Every structure is written in C-alpha cells, then in structure tokens.
A and B are shown apart, each in its own frame.
Chain A
Amino acid sequence: QQQVKQSPQSLIVQKGGISIINCAYENTAFDYFPWYQQFPGKGPALLIAIRPDVSEKKEGRFTISFNKSAKQFSLHIMDSQPGDSATYFCAASPNAGGTSYGKLTFGQGTILTVHP
C-alpha cells in the first residue's frame, strides 16, 4: 500500500518535444505529491508539487496532472531541453496527523534524455 509505481524507467525525447512521466499509488492517505529532479552527483531537488484538491498545476514548462479517482499523477515537461536531462522521481506522503507524515515514498525514477 505504500508503493508508488513510476513509468517509464527511461525516456528519450527530442529537443522541443513533450516528456511525460507517470506515477500511480495505492495508499489513499497520500495527499501530497511532489516531483523531484536529480542530476548526477547531486541530491534530489523539488521541481513541482500538487495536492489532491486540484487536478492540474503548472509552473513554467512543468505541469502536474492529477487524477484522484484513478490514483495517478503525471509530470509533463513541455518544450523539453537538453538541460532537462536528469532523473525524475515522483513521490507521495500521507496527510498530517499520521505518524508517517513527512515520510516521502518515492517512485523508482525515470532517466530522461533530451537529444539536441
């Protein structure tokens, strides 16, 4: 119930294209869904996050789409650039009040390569 399943494992996109990464979860107590970007040799950095009260959130070229009934959420990177080449992780954490609050459960990661 604590798993977050992420796909695809790797993704190759041409510059200017759209990158789409999908995640699915089972635990209905999850109510915070961040995406992290990690470059080689660096720690994960928060990219964008969403709560279940909205179905979409956009920040620049990055958009999260959230489907609460399907328990799925996805990251869309518009106009993908070679500098976006990194590993992307979706994550989820349960709502406040529980003993696991703050515990991020991560997906397995997607290695994105954007070709120039």
Chain B
Amino acid sequence: DSGVTQTPKHLITATGQRVTLRCSPRSGDLSVYWYQQSLDQGLQFLIHYYNGEERAKGNILERFSAQQFPDLHSELNLSSLELGDSALYFCASSVGPITDTQYFGPGTRLTVL
C-alpha cells in the first residue's frame, strides 16, 4: 500500500458526461501527479500540482482539468467524455516539487459507454 488513495475505484458512464476523480496524497506529500494508462498509449503524464499550484502539464486534453485543494487532495475533472477516454487514471504523490520518488495510487478505472 503506497499510502495514496483514489476514489472511486471504478466508474462507468456514458459519452458526453462529466466525471470527477479524487486523489489523496500520502501524508506529508505536497506534490500530486495525474497519469492516464491505456492499452494503446501506455502510461501518459497529464499534470503535476505542488502545494496547490500547477507545475507541469503533459498531454492533457482541454476537456480535462485538475486542481489541488488546500488540504492537498486533488481532483481530475473529465468532461464531454468520449469512448477513447476509457482508461486507468492514476494519481501519484511525492514530497516536494523536485523529489524523484513518486508513489502511485491504485487507480480509477473509467469506462465510457
């Protein structure tokens, strides 16, 4: 158990809908990262937040947004969902903005029908 929690574990929704994925980092970690894992694209970095501020952006679609709250939990919002958004979404956390070791949560499996 990495200490990173993600909810929900599974999410099934329809095209066009909006969902919110939640992540709580390990105690003491200020950085949160979001990754998408799909069969064709592998593990792709989406976005990094440190202590509430966005630090780096990857291949994140405009339909997706994220934020980190004062209590350090983070939410990833996915809107206007398409079939191709079906994937595993992982959150990872690390101590600081320049800390190497990222600890991954168990993931949220999103299925868009």
Contacts and interface: CB of A to CB of B under 8 A. Distances in A.
Interface of A: 32, 34, 36, 41-46, 49, 89, 91, 93, 96, 99-109
Sorting the interface of chain B by its residue count into under 10, 10 to 19, 20 to 34 or 35 or more gives 20 to 34
Contacts of A93: 100
Interface string B76-99: 000000000000001010100111
19 contacts: A43-B2, A43-B4, A43-B92, A43-B106, A43-B107, A44-B104, A45-B2, A46-B101, A96-B98, A100-B56, A101-B97, A102-B48, A102-B55, A102-B56, A102-B98, A103-B58, A104-B102, A106-B43, A107-B42
Interface of B: 2, 4, 31, 33, 35, 42-45, 48, 55-56, 58, 90, 92, 94, 97-107
